[in-house]
Structure 1
């Protein structure tokens, strides 16, 4: 059985967004043993979309259409396929109720065109959107099986796994489920990770193991096929334990959609602890990553961006003689920044960041040289020296995340 993936959206053709959804579908198809030989991107044009659908029908039995399910005039995927198949659209009552409730909560009138998000192909099945408002659609004929899914990845991925995967498994005759777990690591390159896991990768059968690089973290996804979800979890557990043991210094948690800052925030909340930061080269990146997360106000009272030396002295009370003698890019200054920040706000933890983001050297220190201080109430201050590669913003991002890793490791000790 062959499948084909059609991504709908002029914004993809213009390069405004990356077609990441097709990759996720392709990985699922590969796990199920379904051949996918073609992927197509087409703009928001009914005539061209119809041509692409017709071409896909000549080559494949399973056809995915991703995107174009919103309420705007250019969201025409369901309408175009319905016209092509000579069927009508029906409204899913649960989706209509969700739309009405959403607008009532916002205390806004609901435009009539919003109801289009509740449409699905009559005679088929509505695919529930657990995150957003636009339902998907599954429709089968004697020769083809059509899956219509939303474009936003945060809506697309849950629908794919919750609604599409079971139906695909039945189509190809699998009497089993697929269970996956993503272990995440920070501070190790993908090539070194692959080397440490080389024998596990070479010997894999069921479960399987694959590595991924995403947002400065490296993930290891372990997937098992089994008769039940609990049986799949049991298959995964020993391999997951081995991977975690081999890469223990770099481990930062489980879950494909989680991040290192989220892990740190959750640990701080669980332990009833607070943190602040004084940042120089990172320019507030650590504090932004933290405050981007809901619940940050419980653990973060505030902090400083002290770029200039005089501001370090004025706001944090760091002696100008210390900066003059040790240099602003130094372990003593990172230590003083962390300790003074913690003392001033009386937090449990504080981090101090100083370094050279580039593009030029500073005080004879190479670009990428970074010192991060971690102060803790009633504990000696830790200072770690790093040497990051990359351009300016990459260095800043790596530095901020390395601060999170230092704090993560310390919180794990409690």
Structure 2
């Protein structure tokens, strides 16, 4: 089954907001075996929207339209679908009562225009909006299922997760349950990973394999169709075993796991504590950890020591080390990691020092980064030669810091 997504709103065409709804829906639909063949963005113009509906219906089994369900004159999606299907618009009583209650609770008079948010096309199935005002709906016309969803991302996601996903699944063939699994890899490029899995990708039928590069890592989405959950799981397990045999050394997690999440999870599992000394990352690594629930159980604290003086005077890195080897050096990274570990009394200390760019420093090119890791009995430092702009170098340094901790023997003991 294939689908297309039509995003409605002149603000999207003008670049005032990004179409994050399209990204979200594509990810979610792929997870249940729906192929997305095309994205379309249309301004607040009924004639052009009608043309887009007509074109999409010729190609897709499902057409999802996002946005244009609001109370203003330029919110035209429901009107366009009404004209396209020849079905009149009628009020959904529960939605209308919700809108009236919204204004009554705030002791405000409801503008007449807000009533249009309760419209739906006669004969459609209605999706009640639990976190907003405008209802969504689904209507089948000329063998195409049209689904209308509100534009605000919070409302759209809630409606999809609580109503629309189940609605679509119930319309799929009963003997074709679809199950997806995402594997996450780091330290290997998309082309290299694809090269290692090429025969599996070329021979794929069921399950399917879809590699995707994103933010310094690579994901592999496996999707299986089967008569039931047990058989789908078995198909995915077999394929995952083949993948792990080839690129398992780069594997770090599944589904929505991130490197910081896995790092916190590992430290909680081993009962170890961590402290951080940051230079070029400027607190980014520490923030990535404390953004994770449960970080307080493993994270003691951090220091951002950006200048040479701060490294020496605050953290206690020996001045002769900086003078002899430089702040961007193996020796400095190791001392930073060891000093912060001792300062906070943690099992592990990690440090970051390097050249984010755009200019060279100490004769070292942008992207030169040292990550130090200190344990009770040993200290090591890893050299990175990263590429990209200043922000990308710093972000990759953070990811590599997590990756080194996940693989470091002293952490896993």
Common fold: TM-score over 0.5: yes
- 2:392 corresponds in structure 1 to 394
Deviation at 1:329, TM superposition (A): 0.9
- 2:243 corresponds in structure 1 to 243
For residues 148 and 156 of structure 1, what CA distance do their matches in structure 2 show?
10
Moved more, 257-266 or 352-361: 257-266
User: Does 1:149 find its partner at 2:149?
Assistant: yes
Q: How does 1:4-403 map to 2 (within 5 A)?
A: 4-19=4-19, 21-22=21-22, 28=29, 36=37, 39-46=39-46, 48-54=48-54, 56=56, 62-69=62-69, 77-78=77-78, 80-82=80-82, 85-90=87-92, 92=94, 96=98, 121=121, 123-127=123-127, 136-141=136-141, 143-151=143-151, 163-164=163-164, 167-168=167-168, 173=173, 175-255=175-255, 257-376=256-375, 378-403=376-401
For residues 354 and 301 of structure 1, what CA distance do their matches in structure 2 show?
20
Deviation at 1:7, TM superposition (A): 1.1
Cα distance, 1:307–1:72 mapped onto 2, change above 3 Å: farther
For residues 380 and 390 of structure 1, what CA distance do their matches in structure 2 show?
32
**Do 1:65 and 1:146's aligned partners in 2 also have CA atoms closer than 8 Å?**
yes
For residues 129 and 271 of structure 1, what CA distance do their matches in structure 2 show?
44
Residue deviations 1:73-94 (CA, integer Å, cap 9, x gap): 765534653566312241557x
Residue deviations 1:356-393 (CA, integer Å, cap 9, x gap): 112222222222111101123x2412211111111221
Name the SS of the counterpart of 2:301 in structure 1: coil
List gaps (5 residues or longer) in structure 2.
none
**Do 2:138 and 2:145's aligned partners in 1 also have CA atoms closer than 8 Å?**
yes
Name the SS of the counterpart of 1:372 in structure 2: strand
Name the SS of the counterpart of 1:347 in structure 2: coil
For residues 276 and 30 of structure 1, what CA distance do their matches in structure 2 show?
38
**Do 1:264 and 1:404's aligned partners in 2 also have CA atoms closer than 8 Å?**
yes
**Do 1:358 and 1:368's aligned partners in 2 also have CA atoms closer than 8 Å?**
yes
**Do 2:3 and 2:34's aligned partners in 1 also have CA atoms closer than 8 Å?**
no
Moved more, 399-408 or 240-249: 240-249
Name the SS of the counterpart of 1:247 in structure 2: helix
Cα distance, 1:261–1:67 mapped onto 2, change above 3 Å: farther
Deviation at 1:137, TM superposition (A): 2.0
Cα distance, 1:87–1:339 mapped onto 2, change above 3 Å: same
Deviation at 1:239, TM superposition (A): 1.0
Cα distance, 1:24–1:318 mapped onto 2, change above 3 Å: closer
**Do 1:90 and 1:122's aligned partners in 2 also have CA atoms closer than 8 Å?**
no
TM-score with structure 2 setting the length:
0.82
Cα distance, 1:179–1:397 mapped onto 2, change above 3 Å: same
Deviation at 1:352, TM superposition (A): 0.5
**Do 2:368 and 2:383's aligned partners in 1 also have CA atoms closer than 8 Å?**
yes
Residue deviations 1:319-372 (CA, integer Å, cap 9, x gap): 111111121111111111111112112223221001111222222222211110
For residues 119 and 294 of structure 1, what CA distance do their matches in structure 2 show?
41
Query: How many residue pairs end up in the alignment?
Result: 405
Deviation at 1:64, TM superposition (A): 1.6
TM-score with structure 1 setting the length:
0.82
- The partner residue of 2:406 within 401, 404, 408 is 408
For residues 153 and 248 of structure 1, what CA distance do their matches in structure 2 show?
35
**Do 1:354 and 1:371's aligned partners in 2 also have CA atoms closer than 8 Å?**
yes
**Do 2:276 and 2:286's aligned partners in 1 also have CA atoms closer than 8 Å?**
yes
**Do 2:90 and 2:119's aligned partners in 1 also have CA atoms closer than 8 Å?**
no
RMSD of aligned residue pairs (Cα, Å): 3.9
Deviation at 1:145, TM superposition (A): 2.1
Moved more, 148-157 or 244-253: 148-157
**Do 1:91 and 1:119's aligned partners in 2 also have CA atoms closer than 8 Å?**
no
